[in-house]
Amino acid sequence: MKALMLSEYGNLQIMDISVPTCASDEVLIRVAACGICGSDVHGYQGASGRRIPPIVMGHEAAGIIERVGAEVKDYKPGDRVTFDSTVYCGKCEFCQRGEVNLCDHRQVLGVSCGDYRRDGAFAELVAVPARILYRLPDQFPFEEAAMLEAVSVALHGVRVTQMKGDESVLVIGAGMIGLLTAQAARSAGCNAVMIADVDAARLKIAKEVGIPDTLHLGGKELIHEVLRRTGGRGVDIVLEAVGRAETVVAAIECVRKGGTVTLIGNIEPEVPLPLQRVVTREVRLQGSCASAGEYEEAIRLMSHGAITVKPLISATSSLEQASDWFRRLHNRETGLLKVVVTPNA
């Protein structure tokens, strides 16, 4: 079969590789669509350390089941499915509590980090355990289904924040996850959702997906404006979807006393923490990692239009064209957000 192989950092090649073995508890899926994630772009150039070549990347995907293993009873060839990016064991302490994103034996499709290597879905076929599958409605477009992983990440960030439904919210970062997180917060019943970014083009997209209150600001200017709007109080919740030092500090400065800052972005491994501001103002810092069972909710919300992803898809690509789109995404081409690869088009 054909696959897009990261043969060395910065070098993606179409290669013929063996069809994945379908274990007894797995299904073999013919990939209809697979999104290029920001983490794939970072991995493409070796920035993350989690895409050690050679590896077939890709974890935001959907397709049609081609074959099922001998132990698989609930699925059959021809079923339209998507799947979790996390391959969890289902047996450890965390899996038993439903915290599958924290699984002791967690693997991620399309990742090779030294501890494990698991080829992903930038290929004609991919094998995954049946336990991580979710059925797709018949009319659900595959290109949009490739966004379900990102939507589930956004929903998880909102869930662990423990919103009551009437809060004021600031989302910092209008990238893919930030735009989806703002929509997820709105669908959770927040009374006001603002989104901030230094990229005006991304804020334009925010308005297209129903988040009109945009702030084309960063750093001290953002802090000043949020405090001005809230009479010096700050917002109830800040959802930080960048993961850099300056945005984490801004998140803490923009939240009210007793408020919550949920950290979703994950670019810099370490950031300075204004400890006294957190302690004396009793701010709750909440981390959010991947998702833990939010796929069905993501499918429901997208099916009913409560979360829309179509304006976020900048382009679709064949497998052969994908390496050029990786280059353009890495170069941060203006207006380019999500590219969906269709390996079997």
Residue ranges of the chain assigned to CATH 3.40.50.720 = 154-287
pLDDT for 345 equals: 83
- pLDDT score recorded for residue 335: 84
Residue 269: the pLDDT is: 87
**How far lies 169's CA from each of 180, 221, 261, 301, in Å?**
14, 18, 10, 20
List every span in the chain annotated with CATH 3.90.180.10: 2-147+309-341
pLDDT of residue 47: 81
Mean pLDDT by 10 residues, the chain (345 residues): 96 97 97 96 87 97 98 97 97 97 97 94 98 97 98 98 94 97 97 96 96 97 98 98 97 98 93 96 98 97 97 97 97 92 94
pLDDT digits (tens, 9 = 90+) for 259-276: 999 999 988 889 999 999
The C-alpha atoms of residue 86 and residue 147 are separated, in whole angstroms, by: 15
Q: Are the CB atoms for 170 and 235 separated by under 8 Å? A: yes
CATH ID of 2-147+309-341, from 3.90.180.10, 3.90.1200.10, 3.60.140.10, 3.30.70.1060:
3.90.180.10
* H/E run at residue 151: helix 148-161
| CATH class of this structure's domain 154-287 | alpha beta
